[in-house]
Amino acid sequence: MGDKGFPALRLILCIASFIVMLHLVNGDLSYSIPEEMKRESVIGNIAKDLGLDLRTLSSRKARVDFEGTRKRHCDINLSTGDLITSERIDRESLCGKKPSCVVKVDLVLENPLELHRLSLHIHDVNDNSPKFRENVIEIEISESADKGNRFSIEEAHDADIGQNAVQMYNLQKNDNFILNVDSNTVELVLEKTLDREKQKDINLLLTALDGGSPQRSGTVVIHVTVLDANDNAPVFSQAVYKASLPENSPPDTIVINVSATDADEGVNGDVTYHLGHVSDDDVNVFSIDPKTGEIKVTGVIDFEERSSFEMRLQAKDGLGLTSYAKVIIDVTDINDNAPMIYLKSLTNPIPENVSPGTEVGIINVQDRDSETNRQVRCSIQQNVPFKLVPSIKNYYSLVTTGQLDRELESDYNITITATDEGSPPLSSSKTVQLSVADINDNPPVFEEQSYSADVTENNKPGSTLCSVTARDPDWRQNGTVIYSLLPGEVNGAPVSSYLSVNGDTGVIHAVRSFDYEQFRSFKVHVTARDNGSPPLSSNVSVSVFVSDVNDNSPQILYPAPEGNSFMTELVPKAAHGGSLVSKVIAVDADSGQNAWLSYHIVKSTDPGLFTIGLHSGEIRTQRDISESDSMKQNLIVSVKDNGQPSLSATCSMYLLISDNLAEVPELKDISYEEKNSKLTSYLIIALVSVSTFFLTFIIIILGVRFCRRRKPRLLFDGAVAIPSAYLPPNYADVDGTGTLRSAYNYDAYLTTGSRTSDFKFVSSYNDNTLPADQTLRKSPSDFADPFDDLEPSVEVGTFQSTLLITMHCLLVFEFG
């Protein structure tokens, strides 16, 4: 209505119009009522207003009629004459937004018919609140919308009119929007730009108010959805990621998950991950899952090569905004390297006489791991005389702990074991071969404390008596044993003329034939010497026992041997049987059975008269002498030893049965004169032959001298054969100790010392060269060279010695 007059004025106007209407009663009645009165509210009294008799009302069937509508808004209480409302009267439904609302009612009276027009002016009451069409208004605004942008809002609606309609709007206080209400538009104005990432939904409460009294309001929620714009780069959750990873982690091990968030939505917020620039070495070590940000191992992680990795990470959203972070991966050590043992120096071989504690080697141990995994303990096996002594850092000295003895153990395999302290520990070992070098510390030792040899006399020179053996456990020449005789004398002669020992084998040979009758035993000493420097040696005694052979015939001492003397025993005529007549005395140089003599009468003039004691040799009469017995009795007695075979001697015994020596017949004599003259003639022959020999020799020498003019030393440089008879076939006394090395067995060189000539004994080996009874003799004819220093024959005599000496002097003069 827009009338803004005072309420008091309005009331006066109302009353005035009411009075005017009452004046028009004769015509029409008019009432003014507010809408929304209660049912049966009294509007007015028509009986009074029309001046009707109240009692006739019902009889005249007073009633109200409405034009064109079936709806009855009011009625008449016939008993009171009041016009009352019969239902709620809603001005808005009757008249809508029309400024005045009048309901025409006809009052009908019958008998007589009377018609009165009643006008009901219904005026507005604020009974409707402003109302929005929806409870929630949805608006979508991009976050990139500029400040000042306007967004229209549908107005609120109020069924009431005039003052009672919507008069104003109120917007809940907020950061971004203000309200702009124009005549017929309501707008939100963006006052501050939106940020979806801060607030993606904004609810605003908009209130519409009417001007009624009491005032009514209606509200609506404006739901602003902020639409995304790609205005955010992804952001990593950390600027630096740190992870630790054990080395040797297998491929596909997840190291760390990185994540970056992008506040944007959809494609704008889809983050993909990439590794930033990495060095060529690391390219294939790690990979990142573009979608999930899992960093995985793809290559080999070796702590010993690289202990940490640093990489750049890139996160990128769908529209290419990127950001970066760093990842640092520390690799942790795993005990994956066994210690290595290096032999830095080694004394090999070690002399066996090194003192305990001598350093023989230096060992270095290394482990590529770190910290405790590289702490290494080193040991060697027990039961070797070596130990490891820790030295600086990871160096160890290998030292001996005891005395070494090559003869007990010559090689050592020393196993060095190194174990680290990782868990589980790793270990490795190395075997060092050490050998012990020999020192000549063992003298040769004879297998027996003493040796003895039995030999029967008359042995062949060169025959083997026994052998000695000494052992020397040292090495090579330090253990090579050489045997020799210790110089000494046996019966005044050097031992080397009795025995020789083979230097290599220790076999002892007789050099000559032994005679039991000369000596029965003798003792020599043999030395075993090794070839070390200095040499060590030991001595052993060898006793040689010569056993007897029956090589001596019994020797009859009495009576004198046959033919040499003519011994006669006197037997008294009156001798009785059994009386001792004589005795044969015999001895035997042998011994034992070989010297056990037995006596037999082999022949007698009168067998039966004499008997001889089997072992005593006593000759006794067997019976009394009688007259008839011949005066000359002859006995031939044989003396036999008990050897095998036995040797015997015989003698003749002449017995004269007489009491008177005058009866003895003449004695036979031996002529000694003849023997003496024979000796003289032998001497003369010898003298002549020596002189002849000398002269011949002088002639030869002169001849040789002529020859020498052309080929001077031919004769003396040539090998001169010397009969071997002088020496035993196999053995020559070369070095004076009776030893002949096997190498010289057949070719012995004798150097005279005074001359350069070598005389070679070409010994034709012949086992039978020396018969057992042959004596060591030589005659001048045995020598081709008279200048040899060998001693001249005993039988040559003084004269010849003089000649030889003279010749020697001559030659020295000639050639010297």
Ligand X SMILES: *[C@@H]1O[C@H](CO)[C@@H](O)[C@H](O)[C@H]1NC(C)=O
- Is 438 a binding residue for ligand X by CB under 6 A? The answer is yes
Contacts 24+ apart (CB under 8 A), 305-312: 306/281, 306/282, 306/331, 307/331, 307/333, 309/282, 309/285, 311/275, 311/276, 311/278, 311/282, 311/286, 312/275, 312/276, 312/277, 312/278
- Is 475 a binding residue for ligand X by CB under 6 A? The answer is yes
Residues in Cβ contact with 20 at an 8 Å cutoff, skipping those fewer than 6 apart:
none
CB of residue 417 to ligand X, shortest distance in Å: 16
Site residues (CB under 6 A) for ligand X, limited to 730-789: none
- Is 692 a binding residue for ligand X by CB under 6 A? The answer is no
Q: Considering beta carbons, is residue 41 or 605 the nearer one to ligand X?
A: 41
Of 659, 603, 594, 593, the C-alpha closest to 631 is: 659
- Is 541 a binding residue for ligand X by CB under 6 A? The answer is no
Considering only 41, 56, 80, 163, the residue that binds ligand X (CB under 6 A) is 80
CB of residue 284 to ligand X, shortest distance in Å: 21
- Is 76 a binding residue for ligand X by CB under 6 A? The answer is no
CB of residue 238 to ligand X, shortest distance in Å: 13
CA distance 353 to 350: 8
- Is 256 a binding residue for ligand X by CB under 6 A? The answer is yes
Q: Considering beta carbons, is residue 338 or 485 the nearer one to ligand X?
A: 485
Q: Collapsing DSSP states into helix, strand and coil, what is residue 568?
A: strand
CB of residue 27 to ligand X, shortest distance in Å: 27
Considering only 41, 170, 174, 257, the residue that binds ligand X (CB under 6 A) is 257
Residue 625 burial (CB count, 10 A): 19
Question: For 311-346, b where at least 16 C-beta lie within 10 A, e where not — what string?
Answer: bebbbbbeeebebebebebebebbbbbbbebeeeeb
Find the part of the chain contacting ligand X (CB under 6 A) among 44-52, 430-438, 509-517, 616-624: 430-438
Considering only 400, 440, 604, 757, the residue that binds ligand X (CB under 6 A) is 440
Q: Considering beta carbons, is residue 17 or 433 the nearer one to ligand X?
A: 433
- Is 689 a binding residue for ligand X by CB under 6 A? The answer is no
The bridge status of strand 294-297 relative to strand 395-400 is unpaired
Q: Considering beta carbons, is residue 194 or 439 the nearer one to ligand X?
A: 439
Cβ-contact 525, 482 below 8 angstroms: no
Q: From the CA atom positions of the chain, what is the Rg in Å?
A: 83
Q: Considering beta carbons, is residue 58 or 781 the nearer one to ligand X?
A: 58
Residues in Cβ contact with 311 at an 8 Å cutoff, skipping those fewer than 6 apart:
275, 276, 278, 282, 286, 326, 327, 329
Q: Considering beta carbons, is residue 440 or 724 the nearer one to ligand X?
A: 440
End-to-end CA distance of the chain, in Å?
187
- Is 568 a binding residue for ligand X by CB under 6 A? The answer is no
Q: Considering beta carbons, is residue 535 or 780 the nearer one to ligand X?
A: 535
Considering only 41, 45, 56, 77, the residue that binds ligand X (CB under 6 A) is 77
Site residues (CB under 6 A) for ligand X, limited to 623-662: none
CB of residue 539 to ligand X, shortest distance in Å: 4
CA distance 641 to 590: 9
CB of residue 89 to ligand X, shortest distance in Å: 18
CB of residue 470 to ligand X, shortest distance in Å: 11
Q: Collapsing DSSP states into helix, strand and coil, what is residue 774?
A: coil
If phi over 0 gives left and psi between -120 and 50 gives alpha, with beta otherwise, what is residue 617? left
- Is 300 a binding residue for ligand X by CB under 6 A? The answer is no
# chain residues binding ligand X, by CB under 6 A: 25
Find the part of the chain contacting ligand X (CB under 6 A) among 136-144, 438-446, 493-501, 655-663: 438-446
CA distance 306 to 300: 10
Considering only 206, 245, 258, 439, the residue that binds ligand X (CB under 6 A) is 439
- Is 79 a binding residue for ligand X by CB under 6 A? The answer is yes
Cβ-contact 572, 659 below 8 angstroms: yes
Supply the DSSP symbol for 353.
Answer: T
Question: For 257-266, b where at least 16 C-beta lie within 10 A, e where not — what string?
Answer: ebbbebbbbe
Cβ-contact 204, 188 below 8 angstroms: yes
Cβ-contact 533, 443 below 8 angstroms: no
CB of residue 438 to ligand X, shortest distance in Å: 3
CB of residue 297 to ligand X, shortest distance in Å: 12
Sign of the Cα torsion 166, 168, 174, 177 reads positive
Token pair 């070598």 is at which residue? 758
- Is 523 a binding residue for ligand X by CB under 6 A? The answer is no
- Is 476 a binding residue for ligand X by CB under 6 A? The answer is yes
Considering only 237, 413, 518, 630, the residue that binds ligand X (CB under 6 A) is 413
- Is 415 a binding residue for ligand X by CB under 6 A? The answer is no
Considering only 539, 564, 622, 806, the residue that binds ligand X (CB under 6 A) is 539
Q: Considering beta carbons, is residue 39 or 576 the nearer one to ligand X?
A: 39
Q: Collapsing DSSP states into helix, strand and coil, what is residue 770?
A: coil
Considering only 187, 294, 407, 618, the residue that binds ligand X (CB under 6 A) is 294
CA distance 97 to 78: 35
CB of residue 329 to ligand X, shortest distance in Å: 12
Q: Considering beta carbons, is residue 484 or 724 the nearer one to ligand X?
A: 484
Of 637, 631, 577, the C-alpha closest to 601 is: 637
Q: Is the peptide bond before 729 cis (omega within 30 degrees of 0)?
A: no
Work out the widest C-alpha separation in the chain, in whole angstroms. Answer: 263
Site residues (CB under 6 A) for ligand X, limited to 109-138: none
- Is 292 a binding residue for ligand X by CB under 6 A? The answer is yes
CA distance 180 to 147: 14
- Is 537 a binding residue for ligand X by CB under 6 A? The answer is yes
Q: Considering beta carbons, is residue 433 or 766 the nearer one to ligand X?
A: 433
CB of residue 413 to ligand X, shortest distance in Å: 4
CB of residue 482 to ligand X, shortest distance in Å: 14
Token pair 């005795």 is at which residue? 583
Q: Considering beta carbons, is residue 532 or 643 the nearer one to ligand X?
A: 532
- Is 305 a binding residue for ligand X by CB under 6 A? The answer is no
Number of H helices, E strands in the chain: 7, 53
Cβ-contact 342, 390 below 8 angstroms: no
Q: Considering beta carbons, is residue 486 or 748 the nearer one to ligand X?
A: 486
The bridge status of strand 499-501 relative to strand 166-171 is unpaired
Q: Is the peptide bond before 443 cis (omega within 30 degrees of 0)?
A: no
Considering only 486, 585, 589, 601, the residue that binds ligand X (CB under 6 A) is 486
- Is 411 a binding residue for ligand X by CB under 6 A? The answer is yes
Classify residue 252 by burial, with Cβ atoms within 10 Å: 0-12, 13-18, 19+. exposed
- Is 480 a binding residue for ligand X by CB under 6 A? The answer is no
Binding footprint of ligand X on the chain (CB under 6 A):
77, 79-80, 254, 256-257, 292, 294, 411, 413, 433, 437-440, 475-478, 486, 527, 532, 537-539
